[in-house]
Amino acid sequence: MTSPELSPAERYAAFAARNERLRAARATQDDLESFVRRQEFTLDDFQLTACEHLAGGQDVLVAAPTGAGKTIVGEFAVHLALATGRKAFYTTPIKALSNQKYLELSAVHGADRVGLLTGDQTINGEADVVVMTTEVLRNMIYARSATLDGLGYVVMDEVHYLADAARGGVWEEVILLLAPDARLVSLSATVSNAEEFGRWLTEVRGPTAVVVSERRPVPLWQQMMVRKDLFGLYAASVDATDPGHDPRINPDLLEAIRRAERADTSGYHGHGPRARGAARRDGGRGRNPGRGRSTRHGRDRGGVRTPRRDTVVTALDADGLLPAIYFIFSRAGCEAAVDQVLASGVRFTTPTERDLIAETLHEISMRIPGEDLAAVGFTSFAQALTRGVAAHHAGMLPVFKEAVEQLFAAGLIKVVFATETLALGINMPARSVVLESLVKWDGRAHTAITPGEYTQLTGRAGRRGINVEGHAVVLYASGVDPEAVAGLASRRTYPLRSSFRPTYNMAVNLLTTRSREQVRELLEQSFAQFQADAGVVHLARQLHKHEEAIAGYTASAACDQGDIGEYLALRARITALESAEQKDRSAGRRRAVTDQLASLRPGDVIEIPRGRRAGWAVVLAAGTPGLDGPRPEVLGEDRTVRQIGHAEAPHGVRVAGRVRIPQGFSARDPRQRRDLASSLRNALAEGLPGGSTAMLPETGPSSSAQERADELAQARRRLRAHPVHGCADREDHLRWARRLETLEAEREKLVRRIASRTTSIARDFDRVCEVLLTLGYLAQEETTSTENDGESGAEPPTGTHVTAAGRWLRRLYAERDLVLAQTLRSGHWDHLDPAELAAAATTIVYSPRGDDDDRPAVPRGLGPRLDLAVATAMSRGDEVADLERQVGLSSSGQVHPGLVRTMLEWARGGSLADVLSGGDLLAGDFVRWARQVLDVLDQIAIAAPEAGLRGRARDAIDLVRRGVVGQDLV
């Protein structure tokens, strides 16, 4: 087919468009060359390749090891945006990483061109380059923020975070909803299914270049420490940078382990009473949790234990392996480790370094109110820092964590004892990483870390441009297998698995401008559905094989005499009727045994004809009714007293006569038992008077049993008369027919599994809609143009649409968004004063640490308004949970009032020391929860249905944002 003749105007437009594309290509190529020239190092092939794809107009997915320098591609995206007059957004999963990136980009491009948006602070939010958390971008997209105008590039750093169960779905929302003309740069750790993720990105965003590098630019040496000696993990013949599968273990390491196990196993945390006392005070935090040698109180019963933490860091210092990140997986363990190192007298800083650290400490002391310094443990924190040692965990004050990160990055802190908070993204110049344990607490149980987690943790060691090599050190203790360590270190398996699920807020936002069917189609494009569909491919292959086998079985089962299926169904019916008949007989006999045992009276002589209890006995006491029927007490000829029931006499007993039981007989008296047993034997020898040899009475069939017997007889006659019954090959046909039945049942299961997977996300969305329809946030009838609130120029959708209540649910982004909406609708928060409102808001965000599943108690004595407000939040949480269970959704989480009293005291002006004195809450935890409360209050100030409540929410924000809570992180 020839193209239609173009008009002169069309030919000119095509010519101009082609020239514009060529000019843009030349411009971006020039931009790439100028960007490369500005770098202080030569770009690796994977970096240059990714930048070239980006300059060519493609989206890019870069998967490379931690420390390989993949962020250079994100920085090139920022460079391209500024060079072409467009905006760039740089998104990260955590605020600390956003802060770091903001400082880095500001240093390159100037503070006037770079902004920061992290939810709790805004710096130059309309700048050409804005660093933000991913949630902020998602909220912008739903709100159709004008800040999105002119957006040309979006960098999603640590994009593998979309696997996070709690927050990962936000990444997919952004990817699906981002404007198609914005170029997407996705930066990921080395995942084993990068190509799969890239195929999905291509499907939903357009051509996406996948650039994968598995080579660390800084070699990482794997080592183990046995007591205080370091050994390479692999044998000398193994290439440590590419060990392959099942690498040979260093024989010197194995010999050191054997020697340690043979030696005194009293532990290596020290010797004598003082050392044992220190170990007890440490609570066993130096041990590897979950090991079989440990008691539930944490003290080992012998065996080689991990070396003391001060011993480890001193050995690392002697070998020139500091700075180090020392992962412990326990907040208390991190703090105890700092105390242990300080108690040893170790110092890692020079006088000059201590002066520089003192300057930072002075700045911190100026930012924290003087009355709070003692409450946050400033003195002990400062003492540790000046010695070059620090902890880093979620329970620390944010300003403390920030200081640790800055001083560690500057090379002033030499050892950081950390939980996993330091394992994500933050650029730390650690020469070595120490893993005290290969087991961690996941909130419910001790679990072994995965190869992916091992890679993420140890990948912190050895940073490009800072170190020439990195060292991963695993501490040996009894139960740690070097081959298992090698398996973790050599397996580069970190599959990216979607955690996406539809939420209530997502549903009302999407349904505001789309029909329900359009939303279902959009959600079916998620990576979660993409992966589910990929799994269906395997199931579909199985189904195809089943279909082929079914065709063959059908042919083999066919009988030219008649319908084999009909004949088989007759046989199955006969089997079922025979089984029912047998059950009827068994039930009738059981009833007869029950009746007989119930009729026995003291003095009856009975014979138990079968079983291990067979023999003669005299009844001592009548049986009392129980779950298993009556159980009379009897005395046997052997003088033993026991109870008998269905188990001992399944076919009943024979009543042979009676003997007299003396008045006042006691079965506990051996002589009385002997005399009665003698009387029983004499009576049996002489012939029992008044006896009967009757066994169980015959019982006639019930009417239903008789009907089944008649049906069974008729079915047998029909079977004998069936044409297939006379076929010589009947049994062969039946064998194939039975196989066919089994295969068809398996096929139906496969069909159901395929159906459940291919629409799993859309079905979850339907369940979310069902809850929202029940509660009135959605409605089924057609809407009018005023229902759309003027937020979109498009015509409002018909069918399922968002109601007035749903429109303000759109602005509630809390994890328990629907619980918050329901609570606000109740009106029981409308009359709270600002301090009470702040306290009530904690119920929406707070979750206690640990695995306590017991329902929390409703606090009392808070005042009538706050008591009612908290009780309302908890009951609304139960209401939502009940609805979720009814429709088959996972629960939004239990509302917990554990922080209400603490926040009330803080909002009423209480000091930090007083607020923290009432429980075991750490200062950092309190600040973290308080900032989440601020986020909820900010949402209430915008979205609450009652104007007075919106104003009090703004006042509550001012009450909470003070002191350590109000300190900026940058």
4-32 pLDDT tens trace: 455 666 666 665 555 554 455 555 667 78
Of 923, 886, 884, 918, give the one whose Cα is nearest residue 901.
918
**Stretch 854-860: mean pLDDT:** 68
Work out the average pLDDT over 114-122: 82
* 817 has a pLDDT exceeding 50: yes
Burial label for 470, CB within 10 Å (0-12, 13-18, 19+), is: buried
Nearest by Cα to 282 from 198, 223, 341, 324: 341
Alpha-helical runs (H) found in 440-558: 451-458, 482-490, 504-511, 516-523, 527-557
What element of type H or E holds 210? strand 208-212
Q: Are 63 and 127 in contact (CB under 8 A)?
A: no
Chain segment 497-556, per-residue pLDDT in tens: 888 889 999 999 999 988 888 898 888 888 888 887 776 656 666 776 777 788 877 787
- Quick one: tokens of 223? 């080592």
Mean pLDDT over 723-728 rounds to 80
Q: Which of 351-355, 632-636, 754-758 has the lowest mean pLDDT?
A: 754-758
Dump pLDDT digits (tens) for 457-501.
888 888 777 778 889 999 999 888 898 888 888 766 677 888 888
pTM of the model: 0.69
d(CA 242, CA 476): 23
For the segment 48-60, the average pLDDT, to the nearest whole number, is 91
How far apart CA 49 and CA 210 sit, in angstroms, is: 10
pLDDT given at position 486 = 87
Identify residue 311 by its one-letter amino acid code.
T
Tens-place pLDDT, residues 177-196: 999 899 999 998 878 888 99
Report the candidate in 468, 466, 453 with the shortest Cα–Cα distance to residue 427.
Answer: 466
- Average pLDDT rounded to a whole number, residues 852-874: 80
Residues contacting residue 608 through CB under 8 Å, at least 6 positions apart: 614, 615, 617, 644, 648, 649, 653
Percent of the chain residues topping a pLDDT of 70:
84
CA torsion 696-701-702-704 (nearest 10°) is 140
∠ CA(483), CA(488), CA(491), 5° rounding? Answer: 110
Strand partners, 779: 801
Report the alpha-carbon distance of residue 282 to residue 297 in Å, rounded. Answer: 11
Predicted pLDDT of residue 969: 42
826-847: burial string, b at 16+ Cβ within 10 Å, e else? eebbbebbbbbbbbbbbbbbbe
SS3 call for 678? helix
Distances (CA, A) of 676 to 657, 667, 670: 15, 10, 10
Q: What is the 3-state secondary structure (H, E, C) of 122-188?
A: EECCCCCEEEEEHHHHHHHHHHCCHHHCCEEEEEECCHHHHHCCCCCHHHHHHHHHCCCCCEEEEEE
Question: Average pLDDT for residues 346-358, to the nearest whole number?
Answer: 93
In a 3-state reduction of DSSP, which class is residue 472? strand
CB atoms within 10 A of CB 602: 17
Angle at 450 between CA 447 and CA 453, to 5 degrees: 110
91-100, 260-269, 803-812: which range is least confident on average?
260-269
Residues 24 and 47: beta-carbon distance below 8 Å: no
DSSP assigned state of 459: T
More confident residue, 752 or 200: 200
What pLDDT sits at residue 26? Answer: 54
Higher pLDDT, residue 283 or 893: 893
For residue 325, the model assigns a pLDDT of 93
**What b/e sequence results for 300-319 when a residue is b if at least 16 CB atoms lie within 10 Å of its CB, and e otherwise?**
beebbbbbbbbbbbbbbbee
Inform me whether the pLDDT recorded for 120 exceeds 80: no
CA distance 53 to 38: 19
Task: State the pLDDT at residue 508.
Answer: 94
The reply to whether omega before 180 is within 30° of 0 (cis) is no
Q: Residue 629: what residue type?
A: G
**What is the rounded average pLDDT of the residues 264-286?**
39
Q: What is the pLDDT of residue 541?
A: 65
Whose tokens are 């051996």? That residue is 670
Structure confidence at residue 386 (pLDDT): 94
Q: What integer pLDDT is reported at residue 627 of this predicted model?
A: 63
Whole-number pLDDT of residue 1? 40
- Name the token pair of 952: 């009090």
Q: Are 841 and 935 in contact (CB under 8 A)?
A: no
**pLDDT tens-digit readout, 425-461:** 566 778 999 999 888 876 666 788 888 788 888 888 8
d(CA 53, CA 61): 10
